[in-house]
Amino acid sequence: MANYHAPLDEMRFIIQDVVGLEPITALPGCEDVMPDLVDAILEEAGKLGAEVLAPINHSGDEQGCSLENGVVRTPEGFPEAYRQYVEGGWNGLAADVEFGGQGLPWLISTAVSEVWHASNMAFGLCPMLTQGAVELLGAHGSADLKAVYMEKMVSGEWTGTMNLTEPQAGSDLGRVRTKAVPEDNHYRISGTKIFITHGDHDMADNIIHMVLARTPDAPEGVRGISLFVVPKFMVNEDGIPSERNDLRCVSLEHKLGINASPTAVMSFGDDGGAIGYLVGEENHGLAYMFTMMNNERLAVGLQGIGVGERAYQHARDFARERIQSRKIDGDSAEPVAIIEHPDVKRMLMSMRSQTEATRALAYYVAGQLDIACRHPDIETRQASQSLVDLLTPVVKAWGSDTSIEVASTGIQVHGGMGFIEETGAAQFYRDARITAIYEGTNGIQANDLIGRKIGRENGETAKVLIGLIRDFLDSAKSNDDEDLAVLCEALTEAVTALETATNWVCETWKSDVAAVAAGAVPYLRLLGLVGGGWMMARSAEISIGSLSKGNGDPTFHRTKIMSARFFADHFLTEAPGLARSVTNGWTSVSAAAADQF
């Protein structure tokens, strides 16, 4: 089994040069986030990922979780690893210092989170959800709720979940039936929730559930949903967990992947009703939950990036060691390592370049999120928040779709051995596959993008992004490097295709929403490829400049240029075809009647 090593040089490069650390350190509260501090954080995260989490990834997948006499057990080593994670203070990197967090930028927290997902995605799911629950309570919880729960959740001593889905509802949250009946200063919660990640486990002292439910007089549909904090164990006035609340895990799902992460069917209120506490106002629960869901959507895209990186490293190391067949352009009859064969090189470059592009775009969004949260100028904050809103579904869907493709290619690099579980390549594919489904399927992400983020605002933010890319292209014209010229030519054609598709969406949305929706997924991929291509071209430009000045590691910079060229040659070329799918492809979709399938 190949070892995992966090790509620290790549992470530093994107943070410091591509996204830019200086604009982040200029933000209030980020003045001390200097390169040396960033390096130290990434180094220590890399050690925990490589030495503690990665070694139990495959064994955790094989062992899985179990439900014994009402108690959920995680695989061997997971409770101990989580204890080390908490003791290291990793859970509160980006959390408010008021509640014991470190108040670091999202840009740094995002890079660190990638390490957890790459080294052990099933493990990383638990703190990922807790982080989202912390953000939710911080934004919408009362002072009393924050006083009871925030500090322990920020530290990671208590973990958080989100309870949305029910058997009859799926993604249609307007059909949620879980009940919340008011009683004194709390509510009695009763109902069943499915697909609850880390809904129960043995790694923390308490689990704090964020539960969507309906009060007795609530209106129908999504407007009648409220949000409640429902702890596994009630909390005494001294902050110590006490008696068990009326909720339990009744079964664990048997899944394709992430087997070391317990996915629970949760039953609330079998013995009179679980005690829950209202977050904010009644009937506003879905709006509050979107704070957590948007956090998780960015995190899921990051999961894909992490798994893609791990799959790439695994395939690369195998290709270096696997001896098979002579070189196609050599005179020797001796077999060579398969990494010498052109098609294997192509596959590895495909895996590498796509992972780099999705990573850079995700880090860019994290940097914009920091500006949106901290910049003193309101217009600057609003502009950055608009970019975050636009690109969140792209990071989630494009990042996760890409991870599935990358992990699948990793199996192909292994050949027949990739189909054998013992090599570990198959696990990355099985784990990655869920990322396109949960936190809103990628089709839902595409509909959100093309509807709310493009159609309803007449493409204003998308046009701002297109303008930023064209500004980069204008500035890059002064550089006479041949590789950069090829990259800019490909990016120019791609951004023109994006602009054409965006204009068509804005115009057609006014009269034919269904036609626009038919091309939603191709549009999201188009936007992802162009955004990622922009990041790759920026990376290449920076590396070209570093080489000309003799700065940094020349091998690293030459590799960055090569990777960007590959992305332009093999992926940006898809842009015109995707634009055509958006603008013309709706006709065949609309013509298909339900009874024709």
Q: Which two tokens stand for residue 276?
A: 């829950």
Question: Residue 326, by phi and psi: left (phi above 0), alpha (psi -120 to 50) or beta?
Answer: beta
CA-closest candidate to residue 158, choices 227, 106, 82: 82
Residue 428 one-letter amino acid: F
For residue 193, give the CATH number of its domain: 2.40.110.20
- Per-residue pLDDT, 595: 87
Q: Is residue 254 part of a domain?
A: yes
Q: Can you give the pLDDT at residue 172?
A: 78
Percent of the chain with pLDDT over 70: 100
Q: 229-255 pLDDT, tens per residue? A: 999 999 999 999 999 999 999 999 999
Question: Does residue 336 sit within a domain?
Answer: no
Per-position DSSP letters for 56-113, written without gaps between them: GHHHHHHH--EEETTEEEPPTTHHHHHHHHHHTTGGGTTS-GGGT-----HHHHHHHH
Res. 415: pLDDT tops 80: yes
Separation CA 455–CA 520 (nearest Å): 11
pLDDT band at 175 (very low <50, low <70, confident <90, very high): confident
Q: Identify the pLDDT of residue 478.
A: 87
Q: Where are the alpha helices (DSSP H) in 322-377?
A: 342-374
Q: Mean per-residue pLDDT for 338-366?
A: 98
Tokens of 95: 């959390």
By mean pLDDT, which of 22-31, 115-124, 161-170 is the weakest? 161-170
Say which DSSP state 15 is in.
I
Residues 317 and 300: their CA atoms lie apart, in Å, by 26
Answer whether 207's CB lies under 8 Å from 249's CB: no
What value does the mean pLDDT of the chain take?
96
Q: Is residue 166 part of a domain?
A: yes
Mean pLDDT of the region 401-410: 98
Is 296 a known active-site residue? no
Residue in the structure block whose two tokens are 């061997």? 76
- Answer whether residue 198 shows pLDDT above 80: yes
**Containing structural domain, residue 267:** 158-283
Mean pLDDT of 128-140: 97
Of 283, 310, 344, the residue that ends a domain is: 283
pLDDT digits (tens, 9 = 90+) for 305-348: 999 999 999 999 999 999 999 999 888 889 999 999 999 999 99
Label residue 2 by pLDDT band (50, 70, 90).
Answer: low
Check pLDDT > 80 for residue 171.
no
The active-site residue, picked from 296, 309, 439, 499, is: 439
DSSP sequence for 240-257 = -EEEEPSEEEEEE---SS
Residue 350 in any domain: the answer is: no
pLDDT at 106 over 70: yes
Q: What integer is the mean pLDDT of 374-403?
A: 98
Domain termination residue (choose one: 263, 283, 303): 283
Instruction: Give pLDDT, residue 403.
Output: 98
Calculate mean pLDDT across residues 338-364: 98
Q: For 423-467, how does the pLDDT look when each residue is reduced to its tens digit (9 = 90+)? A: 999 999 999 999 999 999 999 999 999 999 999 999 999 999 999
* 239 within some domain: yes
Stated pTM of the model: 0.97
State the average pLDDT over residues 386-411.
Answer: 98
pLDDT value for 419 = 97
What is the count of structural domains for the chain? 2
Q: DSSP H helical segments within 375-458, as ranges? A: 378-414, 425-433, 442-448
Boundary of a domain, candidates 267, 283, 299: 283
| pLDDT confidence tier of residue 129, bands split at 50, 70 and 90 | very high
Tell the residue number behind the tokens 């969004």, with chain if given.
365
